[in-house]
A = this chain, B = another copy of it.
Amino acid sequence: MLKVGINGYGTIGKRVADAVAAQPDMTVCGVAKASPDFGADGAVRRGYPLYSARDDRVNAFREAGYELAGTSDDLIAESEVVVDAAPGGIGAENLPRYEAAGVPAIVQGKESDDLVETSFNARANFEDAEGADAVRVVSCNTTGLSRLVAPLEENYGVEKVRATLVRRGGDPDQTGRGPINDILPDPIAVPSHHGPDVNTIFPELSIDTMGLKVPATLMHMHSLNIELGSDPSSEELRELLGGESRVFVVGDDFSIDGTGKLREFARDRGRPRGDLWENCVWGESITVKDSELYMFQAIHQESDVIPENVDAIRAMTGLADKEESMRITDEALGIGL
């Protein structure tokens, strides 16, 4: 059992921990948090050894009644791999610590691609991470785009991607984030940085992205136009995407009209935290006209990168190859709708 430490136990970290714990070939050797809030209580209840992410917070944990297994340095020493899920920017600061300790590490999408050996998406470039010591799992939006581009590229070639990313303003527990009643071009400059991020996975891809932010918390929404190298039918496309394990093609009969009902569907299915690890593509929206594909997909920002983190662990440590890793991950989590 590979010992995995999780440094940063918030939205992403707690989900990575649960996903690792669900795998047959790895175990959570500890999680590090910066403050003793209800998340710390959750970690303890799940039986994860609790570490203080910051040395100056040890007392705060003690006062709140938590027994600590140590600080993040101890956690790193304990781990065979570290998944860093600290707030954006802190992963970059932590990388030298992992390197110094000789522990392979994964950082999240907000960190720069320059700091790691490769950016990672299991479906698209698993092999690039094999044996690597520092890997970055791309952001939720880039993960969602990569899972689409990979099969399209393989089957038809992709001439150009034009994507409008209508992004949620904050996660459901981020009470301080807005906007309340606004639609914001974000960034205003076009194309946005999201396209170049996809290029860390598909260096040759021609992609232009435009970003927006809206007052919603549940999921991002992608409005997509993709020029293909050939002209398949809409039905063929629907079938192709339906065959991808990490893409869920929303059926017309389901009467799911947006992200609210999608998450309700996930809750009804008993998904932990109502998570949707898969890209959610409206089948009815898939339309090919003169080799141009149009479609809508919703991306659950809190969870779509979770299986990717698990697969990255296997790629880096050689626990399994791409097909086997994705199969094990999907089976352990119950991915596939």
Chain A, residues 267-310, CB within 8 Å of chain B (1/0): the string is 11110111000000010111101001011101000000000000
Q: Is the CB of B189 within 8 A of A284?
A: yes
Instruction: For A284, give the chain B residue with the smallest CB separation.
Output: B188
Given A177-B180, A210-B223, is A273 in contact with B284 using a C-beta cutoff of 8 Å? Answer: no
**How far is A14 from B270 in the complex, measured between Cα atoms in Å?**
12
Whether A45 lies near B269 (C-beta < 8 A) is yes
Q: List, in ascending order, chain B residues with CB within 8 A of A216's CB.
A: 180-183, 214-215
Proximity bits, A182-194, B CB within 8 Å = 1, else 0: 1111101111000
- Interface SS, A side: mixed
Q: Which residue of B lies closest to A39 (CB)?
A: B268
- Please, which residues of chain B bring their CB within 8 A of the CB of A189? 284-285, 287
B260 and A173 contacting across the interface, CB-CB below 8 Å: yes
Asked if A166 and B214 sit within 8 Å, CB to CB, the answer is yes
In the complex the two chains form, is A183's CB within 8 Å of B273's CB? no
Q: Are B190 and A184 in contact (CB under 8 A)?
A: no
User: Which of A92-100, A133-141, A144-152, A251-259 forms part of the interface with chain B?
Assistant: A251-259
Instruction: Identify the closest chain B residue to A234 (Cβ).
Output: B190
| Binding-face segment, A30-38, A80-88, A197-205, A315-323 | A30-38
A215 to chain B, nearest CB (A): 5
Q: Name A268's contact: one of B35, B42, B174, B176 (CB within 8 Å).
A: B42
Do A179 and B258 touch across chains, with their CB atoms under 8 A apart?
Answer: yes
Number of interface residues of A (CB under 8 A): 80
A219 at the B interface (CB under 8 A): yes
Given A37-B253, A64-B253 in contact, is the A14-B178 Cβ separation under 8 Å? no
Task: Decide if B263 touches A172 in the complex (CB within 8 Å).
Answer: yes
Interface membership of A57, Cβ < 8 A: no
* Shortest distance between the CB of A74 and any CB in chain B (Å): 23
Choose among B36, B258, B270 the residue that contacts A182 (Cβ–Cβ < 8 A). B258
Do A176 and B175 have beta carbons less than 8 Å apart? no
Task: A38 to B36: give the CA distance in the assembly, Å.
Answer: 39
A140 to chain B, nearest CB (A): 14
Q: How many angstroms from the CA of A210 to the CA of B290 in the assembled complex?
A: 17
Is A54 an interface position by the 8 A CB rule? no
Per-residue contact bits, chain A 38-72, to B (CB 8 Å; 1 contact, 0 not): 11011001000000000000000000110000000
In the complex, A45 Cα to B268 Cα: how many Å?
10
- Check if A175 sits within 8 Å of B179, measured CB to CB: yes
30 A-B pairs, CB-CB below 8 angstroms?
A35-B255, A37-B255, A37-B256, A38-B255, A38-B256, A42-B268, A162-B162, A168-B183, A173-B260, A173-B261, A175-B178, A175-B184, A176-B178, A177-B180, A178-B178, A178-B179, A179-B260, A181-B181, A181-B215, A182-B259, A183-B216, A183-B218, A183-B258, A183-B259, A183-B298, A188-B282, A189-B285, A189-B287, A190-B285, A223-B223
